[in-house]
């Protein structure tokens, strides 16, 4: 099939390369000229494991091309996939200006039947609005469909190529048929396509993210309680997750969730519910708990030094909102760094992939170090924020020798408190003694 993918971010690039890999002709377009220039030179502007090889092989085979010409991409495609950003607006709703601008361009460049697909996460009712926007400027036939994306950054290729479900929603039978054909190669072993109306598809994406965010906030809230009660949340987590009705995933207490999806999506869902006079009490609580949780590590460090952080040095390991990505949108590390700098501390930070992105944001207010050990040199505390593999079993003897005072703040409960205390560290985790 001939596809146009509009928006070459985390989702658009992975989807574009993934569809091309199954033999489709994919033209990826973006308004960001520097991004397209880099992609055309064979560079991949984001860190996502496996993506560079997938892009390189498909570009070489001529199935994957890049440009800034949205109009031409639309004219050459049977299926037009919208994968632009839907960032939060000031009132917490999703900012749909890019989606609607693209819809207008699609409408103006229609030349025969096309399926217009939103892969961006968009509020319920957006497919109807896209239908109206395109319908106002063209007489050509078209179908609008919602095809929310469930990939996880860091494992995006695997998720996209072997999806555990493909949700397609449309009120146009022909559009659903085209999408079934497009995805048939991805679900050959087991038909995991969920076809439905567009509104249900749009709501499915928000429901999934709100459920996962709620699980995390639930455990974070219990971790705070666990600490007050002298229980160990890690033991509780494992035993609770052993119940097959509950399962072990997304129960890890930590520093709060960040990323480009959960925070903005739950906020947009709350906003959507308010618009129809419904208060989503559970999701609102998940959001509140998360805001509080992102302050927790900074509060613990401040308390440890009796509120006096002036002149102290804190090493921060992990800046990306999770391992295996360079994405720092809503990252808990940014909240911690702000708290530390505000309190007068010096911050020495390390991350395997996200340092350039944070540097662009905070400049030289933070010292970025080449190695993780350099970050701990002269530090009064070391805070683990993102649990990259290399931070899991570091050489603690070496760290002890490098730090000024050996205080560890384990925001992900990945280190062993007993071992570390016996090495002479002061250990503080989340919800554990």
Assess whether 28 carries a catalytic annotation: no
Q: 64 to 93, contacts with ligand NAD by CB under 6 A?
A: 70, 83-86
Q: Does the protein bind ligand NAD through residue 102 (CB under 6 A)?
A: yes
Nearest to ligand NAD of 65, 86 (CB atom): 86
**Which of 381, 262, 377, 369 minimizes the C-alpha distance to 319?**
369
- Rounded Cα distance, 182 and 177, in Å: 9
Q: Does the protein bind ligand NAD through residue 349 (CB under 6 A)?
A: no
- Rounded Cα distance, 382 and 347, in Å: 10
What 3-state class would DSSP assign to 260? coil
Q: Does the protein bind ligand NAD through residue 16 (CB under 6 A)?
A: no
Q: How far is the CB of 181 from ligand NAD (least distance, A)?
A: 23
What 3-state class would DSSP assign to 92? coil
Strand order across the beta sheet in which 25-29 lies: 64-67, 25-29, 2-6, 79-82, 114-118, 142-146, 166-170, 193-196
Q: Does the protein bind ligand NAD through residue 9 (CB under 6 A)?
A: yes
Q: Does the protein bind ligand NAD through residue 27 (CB under 6 A)?
A: no
- C-alpha distances (whole Å) from 304 to each of 181, 301, 332, 410, 426 are 59, 5, 19, 13, 10
> CA angle at residue 137 from 136 to 138, to 5 degrees?
105
Nearest to ligand NAD of 1, 101 (CB atom): 101
Q: Among the candidate windows 146-154, 171-179, 271-279, 405-413, which touches ligand NAD by CB under 6 A?
A: 146-154
Q: How far is the CB of 366 from ligand NAD (least distance, A)?
A: 23
- Rounded Cα distance, 428 and 412, in Å: 10
Interstrand relation of 64-67 and 193-196 (parallel, antiparallel or unpaired): unpaired
Q: Does the protein bind ligand NAD through residue 39 (CB under 6 A)?
A: no
Q: Which residue is nearest to ligand NAD (CB)?
A: 9
Nearest to ligand NAD of 70, 403 (CB atom): 70
Nearest to ligand NAD of 70, 334 (CB atom): 70
Applying CB under 6 A, among 35, 63, 348, 412 the residue interacting with ligand NAD is 35
- Rounded Cα distance, 416 and 389, in Å: 15
Q: How far is the CB of 1 from ligand NAD (least distance, A)?
A: 20
Nearest to ligand NAD of 51, 315 (CB atom): 51
User: Any idea of the CA torsion for 281, 282, 283, 285, to the nearest 10 degrees?
Assistant: 80
Rg over CA atoms, the chain = 23
Q: 278 to 337, contacts with ligand NAD by CB under 6 A?
A: none
Q: 210 to 249, contacts with ligand NAD by CB under 6 A?
A: none
Q: How far is the CB of 120 from ligand NAD (least distance, A)?
A: 3
What 3-state class would DSSP assign to 29? strand
Output DSSP code: residue 314: E
Nearest to ligand NAD of 9, 323 (CB atom): 9
- Rounded Cα distance, 29 and 5, in Å: 6
Q: Does the protein bind ligand NAD through residue 260 (CB under 6 A)?
A: yes
Applying CB under 6 A, among 64, 168, 198, 261 the residue interacting with ligand NAD is 261
**Size, binding site for ligand NAD by CB under 6 A:** 26
Applying CB under 6 A, among 48, 149, 380, 387 the residue interacting with ligand NAD is 149
Applying CB under 6 A, among 4, 6, 223, 334 the residue interacting with ligand NAD is 6
Q: Are 407 and 426 in contact (CB under 8 A)?
A: yes
**Which of 257, 405, 279 minimizes the C-alpha distance to 331?**
257
Nearest to ligand NAD of 71, 308 (CB atom): 71
Interstrand relation of 142-146 and 166-170 (parallel, antiparallel or unpaired): antiparallel
- Rounded Cα distance, 156 and 147, in Å: 16
Q: Does the protein bind ligand NAD through residue 123 (CB under 6 A)?
A: no
Q: Among the candidate windows 30-38, 247-255, 367-375, 412-420, which touches ligand NAD by CB under 6 A?
A: 30-38
Q: 152 to 171, contacts with ligand NAD by CB under 6 A?
A: 153
Q: Does the protein bind ligand NAD through residue 31 (CB under 6 A)?
A: yes
User: Any idea of the CA torsion for 13, 17, 18, 21, to the nearest 10 degrees?
Assistant: 180
Residues with Cβ within 8 Å of 10's Cβ and at least 6 positions away in sequence, in order, are 46, 48, 151, 153, 156, 260, 327
Q: How far is the CB of 275 from ligand NAD (least distance, A)?
A: 19
Catalytic residue among 261, 355, 384, 385: 261
Q: Does the protein bind ligand NAD through residue 7 (CB under 6 A)?
A: yes
The residues assigned a catalytic role are 261
Give the footprint of ligand NAD on this chain (CB under 6 A): 6-12, 30-32, 35, 70, 83-86, 98, 101-102, 120-121, 149, 151, 153, 260-261
């Amino acid at each position: 099939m001939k596809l146009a993918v509009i928006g070459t971010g985390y989702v658009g690039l992975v989807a574009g390369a993934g569809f091309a890999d199954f033999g489709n002709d994919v033209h990826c377009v973006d308004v960001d000229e520097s991004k397209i220039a880099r992609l055309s030179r064979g560079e991949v502007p984001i860190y996502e494991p496996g993506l560079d090889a997938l892009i390189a092989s498909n570009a070489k085979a001529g199935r994957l091309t890049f440009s800034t010409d949205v109009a031409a991409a639309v004219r050459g495609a049977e299926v037009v996939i919208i994968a632009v950003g839907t960032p939060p607006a000031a009132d917490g709703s999703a900012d749909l200006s890019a989606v609607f601008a693209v819809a207008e361009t699609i409408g103006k460049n229609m030349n025969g039947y096309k399926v217009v697909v939103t892969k961006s996460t968009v509020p319920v009712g957006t497919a109807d609005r896209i239908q109206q926007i395109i319908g106002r400027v063209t007489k050509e036939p078209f179908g609008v469909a919602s095809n929310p994306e469930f990939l996880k950054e860091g494992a995006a290729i695997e998720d996209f190529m072997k999806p555990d479900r493909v949700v397609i929603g449309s009120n146009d039978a022909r559009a659903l048929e085209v999408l079934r054909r497009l995805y048939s190669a991805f679900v050959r072993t087991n038909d995991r396509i969920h076809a439905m109306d567009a509104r249900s598809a749009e709501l499915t994406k928000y429901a999934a993210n709100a459920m996962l965010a709620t699980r995390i906030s639930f455990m974070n809230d219990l971790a705070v309680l666990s600490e007050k009660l002298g229980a160990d949340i890690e033991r509780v987590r494992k035993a609770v997750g052993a119940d097959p009705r509950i399962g072990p995933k997304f129960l890890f207490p930590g520093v709060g969730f960040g990323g480009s999806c959960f925070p903005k999506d739950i906020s947009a869902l709350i906003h959507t519910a308010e618009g129809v006079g419904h208060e989503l009490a559970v999701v609102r609580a998940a959001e509140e708990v998360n805001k509080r949780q992102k302050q927790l590590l900074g509060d613990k460090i401040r308390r440890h030094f009796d509120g006096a952080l002036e002149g102290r040095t804190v090493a921060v390991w992990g800046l990306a909102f999770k391992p295996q990505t360079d994405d720092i949108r809503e990252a808990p590390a940014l909240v911690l760094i702000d708290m530390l700098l505000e309190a007068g501390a010096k911050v020495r930070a390390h991350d395997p992939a996200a340092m350039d992105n944070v540097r662009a944001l905070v400049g030289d207010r933070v010292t970025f170090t080449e190695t993780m050990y350099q970050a701990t040199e002269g530090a009064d505390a070391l805070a683990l924020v993102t649990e990259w593999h290399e931070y899991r079993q570091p050489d603690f003897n070496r760290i002890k020798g490098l730090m000024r005072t050996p205080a560890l703040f384990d925001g992900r409960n990945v280190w062993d408190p007993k071992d570390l205390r016996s090495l002479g560290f002061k250990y503080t985790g989340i919800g554990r003694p």
